[in-house]
Amino acid sequence: MTPETLAEKVLSATRDAFEALGLDAAVLPAQTAVERPRDPKHGDYASNIALQTAKKAGTNPRALAEKIAGNLAAVDGVAKVDIAGPGFLNITVDAAAAGGIAGKIVAAGDAYGTNNSMEGVYANLEFVSANPTGPIHAGGTRWAAMGDALARVMRASGAKLTAEYYVNDAGAQIDHFAASLLARAKDEPTPENGYVGAYIDEIAADVLEARPDALDAAEPLEVFRTVGLDLMLKDIQTTLADFGTHFDVFFSEKGMHDRGEVETAVQRLTDLGHVYEADGATWLRTTTFGDDKDRVLKNSKGGWTYFASDCAYYLDKRERGFEKLVFMLGADHHGYVGRMQAISRAFGDEPGTMEILIGQFVNLLRGGEPIRLSKRAGNIITLNDVVEAVGVDAARYALTRYSADSTIDLDIDLWTRHGNENPVYYVQYAHSRTHGVLRNAADRAVDRGDSYDAALLSHPRESDLLKALAEFPAVVASAAELREPHRVARYAEELAAAYHRFQHDCRVLPFPDEETTDVNRARLWLVDATRVVLANALGLLGVSAPERM
Partner RNA sequence: GCCUCAGUAGCUCAGCUGGAUAGAGCACCGGACUUCUAAUCCGAUGGUCGCAGGUUCGAAUCCUGCCUGGGGCGCCA
Which residues ranging from 356 to 385 are in contact with RNA (CB under 7 A)?
358, 360-361
> What percent of the chain is helix, strand and coil (3-state, nearest 5)?
55, 15, 30
DSSP per residue over 470-530, as a string?
A: HHHHHHHHHHHHTT-THHHHHHHHHHHHHHHHHHHHS--SPPTTS---HHHHHHHHHHHHH
Q: Does 122 bind RNA (CB under 7 A)?
A: no
Q: Does 287 bind RNA (CB under 7 A)?
A: no
How far is the C-alpha of 161 from the C-alpha of 322, rounded, in Å?
9
Nearer Cβ to RNA (208/519):
519
Q: Does 334 bind RNA (CB under 7 A)?
A: yes
Question: Interacting stretch for RNA, rule CB under 7 A, among 12-20, 259-267, 427-435, 448-456?
Answer: 427-435
Question: Interacting stretch for RNA, rule CB under 7 A, among 32-40, 223-231, 240-248, 342-350?
Answer: 32-40
Under DSSP, the state recorded for 392 is H
Binding mask 227-266 for RNA (x = CB under 7 A): ----------------------------------------
Q: Does 37 bind RNA (CB under 7 A)?
A: yes
Q: For RNA, which residue of 306, 323, 376, 391 counts as binding (CB under 7 A)?
A: 306
How far is the C-alpha of 530 from the C-alpha of 499, rounded, in Å?
7
C-alpha dist (Å) from residue 187 to 204, 220, 478 = 10, 14, 55
Question: Interacting stretch for RNA, rule CB under 7 A, among 72-80, 111-119, 258-266, 494-502?
Answer: 494-502
Q: Measured from the CB of residue 511, what is the shortest distance to RNA in angstroms?
A: 7
Q: Does 76 bind RNA (CB under 7 A)?
A: no
Q: Measured from the CB of residue 219, what is the shortest distance to RNA in angstroms?
A: 20
How far is the C-alpha of 223 from the C-alpha of 426, rounded, in Å?
50
Q: Does 303 bind RNA (CB under 7 A)?
A: yes
Q: Which residue(s) pair with 364 in the sheet? A: 410
> 138-156 and 383-390 helices cross at what angle (nearest 10)?
80
Question: Interacting stretch for RNA, rule CB under 7 A, among 97-105, 196-204, 399-407, 534-542?
Answer: 399-407
Q: For RNA, which residue of 400, 503, 530, 536 counts as binding (CB under 7 A)?
A: 503
Q: Does 131 bind RNA (CB under 7 A)?
A: yes
How far is the C-alpha of 182 from the C-alpha of 214, rounded, in Å?
9
Q: For RNA, which residue of 267, 440, 451, 517 counts as binding (CB under 7 A)?
A: 440
Q: For RNA, which residue of 155, 274, 318, 433 counts as binding (CB under 7 A)?
A: 433
Q: For RNA, which residue of 171, 191, 391, 539 counts as binding (CB under 7 A)?
A: 171
H helices, E strands: number in the chain: 19, 14
Binding mask 528-547 for RNA (x = CB under 7 A): --------------------
How far is the C-alpha of 146 from the C-alpha of 356, rounded, in Å?
14
- Cβ atoms of 72 and 89 closer than 8 Å: yes
Under DSSP, the state recorded for 77 is T
How far is the C-alpha of 540 from the C-alpha of 150, rounded, in Å?
8
Q: Measured from the CB of residue 402, what is the shortest distance to RNA in angstroms?
A: 4
